[in-house]
Amino acid sequence: MRAQFVLSEIGVGLRRNLTMTFAVIVSVALSLGLFGASLLMRDQVSTMKGYWYDKVNVSIFFCNKNDADTGANCAKGAATEQQKNDILAELHRLPIVQNVQHETSDQAYKHYKEQFGDTPVAGLVTPDQLPESFRVKLKDPTKYDVIKSAFSERPGVQEVQDQRDTVEPLFNLLNGMNIAALCVMGLMLIVALMLIVNTVRVSAFSRRRETGIMRLVGASSFYIQMPFILEAAIAGLLGAAFACVLIVGGKAILINNWLAQKIQVINFIGWDSVAQVLPLVLLIGLLMPALAAFFALRKYLKV
Amino acid sequence: MVTHTDGSRNTATRAPTQVDRGASVIRFDNVSKTYPKQNRPALRDVSLEIERGEFVFLVGSSGSGKSTFLRLLLREERASHGAVHVLGKDLAKLSNWKVPQMRRQVGTVFQDFRLLPNKTVGQNVAFALEVIGKPRGQIRKTVPEVLELVGLGGKEDRMPGELSGGEQQRVAIARAFVNRPMLLIADEPTGNLDPQTSVGIMKLLDRINRTGTTVVMATHDQQIVDQMRKRVMELEKGRLVRDQSRGVYGYQH
C-alpha cells in the first residue's frame, strides 16, 4: 500500500467536498459533545446520589399532644414511652437497620433553628410543636418500604418519612435532563450518519472514473474503498476533537468557574471523569463514520 | 504511424504464466445469461474455446450479446447457467476477493478510452500499477517502456486532452498492457477513430498479440475484420451463430 498515494486521494476528496465535510464535522462534534456531556452528567448524578443517600435517614415521627386530630394513630394524644420503646426494640431487631438515633423535640427545635435561623417563620415555632422522632439509618437506603409498612400504622406514630423523598425530585430532574440530552444526541447522531452516507455517495460518484479504472486494472476492493473510509474517519475525528474541546470548555467554564462558585454544598465531578470520557468520544468519532462509510460504499461503490 | 515490426521483443520480459501453452485462455461451456427481470436471455447456450495467443474478433449487431460476453469474461456479471473459465479459473467458483487478482491478468480497452483527464499520460499508465501496489522503482522503469512500445515515447508529460483520439487510445492500450496481461479485451477500440488511425491501432493490437497475449476484440468495423483475416465469432440474439478461423465480418451467410 502506497501511503502517499492514499493520502493525496483523501486530500483531494475532502477538498472537493468541503461543504459536506464541514457539515459532517459540525454534526459529529455536536452529537459527540452531547454524548460526552450526558456521560459526565450521569457521573455527576451518581456521585451526588452516593453523597446524599449516605446522609439521609428514614424518620419515624411520633405523635405530639397537639396532633390528636391529624390521624387515627394519634387519636390518643402524644405517644407513650411504652410505644416508643416497643418500636425502638423492634427496629434494633431488623437486620436492615444500621443504627437508630433518637431526636427529641428540643433537638428538633435546635436543628430547625440552625436551618431556618433568622427567617420570620422560625420565631413562631416552639419546641412542643415539633415532633419527637427516631432517625433510622438503613444499610440499604432503598429498603425504605420495609420500615414504612412496619411502623406507619402503629399507634403513636404520626408519620414515617423517607428523606430520600426530598432529594429524589432533584435527581429525577437531572435524570430527565440527561434523557433529553441523550435523545437530542440520538437525533444528531442520525443526522451525522446520514450526512456521512451522503458525503460518501457524492464522493464515490465524483470519483467514479478513478474507481472504475481501479476496478478494471484489478485494484483490491480494500484499496479502492480505503480513501473513502479514511476520508469519513478523518472528518469524524476532527468532529470528535471539536467535541472534546466543547466538553473541556464546558467543564472549565460552566462547572469550575460558575456552578462550583455558586453551589458549594455539591462536590462536582473533577477532571479525572472528563479524562475518562474524552478517549471514548474520540474513539466513537473515529469508528462510527468509518463504519457508516463502509456500509455506504457497499451500496454506492460496486467493487 | 507506428514503425515497430519486431513483435517478439517483449516476450523476454513477460511474467511467468500460469497457463500452459496450448491450454485454453477462455472456455465457455453452455453459457447462458439472463439479466434480472428480463425474459429474453442476453446469451443463450454459448460454448466456445479460445486458446493462448489467439486473436479473436467478436462481431454482431447491437444487442447481440457482445457486451454481455465481455462482462462475463471480466466477471462483472456471473453466468446464469453454464461455466465460464478464464485463464484456467472457473469464474463461478472464484470468490469476490480473488476477482482483482484475476483482473490483473486481463487488460481492457474501451471505445471511450477511459483516461483520467487530470493526470498526464505517464501518470495515467502509472495509475494502473500504483493501485495494485507495485513498488515505485518498478513503475518508473516500466511506464516509459510500455509507452515506447505503443509508439508514444517521449509524450509522458502530455495531458490526455492534448492528444488525438488515436494517441489517447494508445495510452489506454499502454495502461491495459503495462501489467503484461495474459488476455487483452478490447470493446470497440476503434469505434471513435477514423479508418486510418484505426489501422494504426490494429497494428498495435496485432503486435501485442504476437507477444503471446490473447486478444479478444468486439467490433463493428467491417473493413478491419476483413483485412486482418483472424478468427471471427458472430453473435446473433445471444447465440453463437458463426465461429470461423480467418473469417470475414459479413452478414452474408
* ipTM score: 0.82
* A13 has pLDDT over 80: no
Q: What are the DSSP calls for A202-239, one per residue?
A: HHHHHTHHHHHHHHHTT--HHHHHHHHHHHHHHHHHHH
Scanning B109-138 for CB atoms below 8 A from A yields 114, 116, 127-128, 130-133, 136
Question: CA angle, corner B74, sides to B70 and B76, nearest 5?
Answer: 95
Scanning B82-101 for CB atoms below 8 A from A yields 96-97, 100-101
CA distance B162 to A245: 50
SS3 content of chain A, % helix, strand, coil (to 5): 75, 10, 20
Taking any CB pair shorter than 8 Å as contact, residues of chain A touching chain B are: 1-2, 5, 209-210, 212-221, 223-224, 303
* A259 has pLDDT over 50: yes
Residues of chain B with pLDDT under 50: 1-21, 253
Residues in chain B: 253
Please list every residue in chain A whose beta carbon sits closer than 8 Å to the beta carbon of residue B101: 218
> What are the residue boundaries of the structural domains of chain A, listed by start?
3-52+168-300, 57-162
Mean pLDDT of chain A: 84
Q: What is the pLDDT of residues A129-185, one digit of tens each?
A: 778 888 888 887 777 788 888 887 888 888 888 877 777 788 888 888 888 888 988
Nearest CA in chain B to A212: B114
pLDDT at A145: 80
CB of B159 within 8 Å of a chain A CB? The answer is no
Strands in B36-92 per DSSP E: 43-51, 55-59, 81-86, 89-90
Q: Would you place residue A121 in the very low, low, confident or very high pLDDT band (cuts 50, 70, 90)?
A: low
Residue appearing with cell numbers 459540525: A26
Name the CATH topology of A57-162. Answer: Alpha-Beta Plaits (3.30.70)
The strand pairing partners of B21, in sequence order, are: none
**Region A114-138: what's the mean pLDDT?**
75
pLDDT at B20: 46
Distance from CA of B250 to the nearest CA of A (A): 32
**Region A106-121: what's the mean pLDDT?**
74
CA distance A64 to A244: 58
| Mutant choice from A216, A223, A297, A301 vs B, greatest count of B C-beta within 10 A | A216
Q: Which of A92-106, A190-204, B68-82 has the highest mean pLDDT?
A: B68-82
CA distance A165 to A142: 11
pLDDT at A117: 66
Least confident span in A49-53, A86-90, B103-107: A49-53
Distance from CA of B34 to the nearest CA of A (A): 20
Q: Phi then psi for A36, rounded to 5 degrees?
A: -60, -45
pLDDT at A177: 84
State how far the alpha carbon of A12 is from the alpha carbons of A17, A149, A180, A233, A241, in Å.
Answer: 9, 71, 39, 15, 22
pLDDT at B121: 96
Q: Which three cell numbers stand for residue B134?
A: 507495485
CA distance A239 to A25: 4
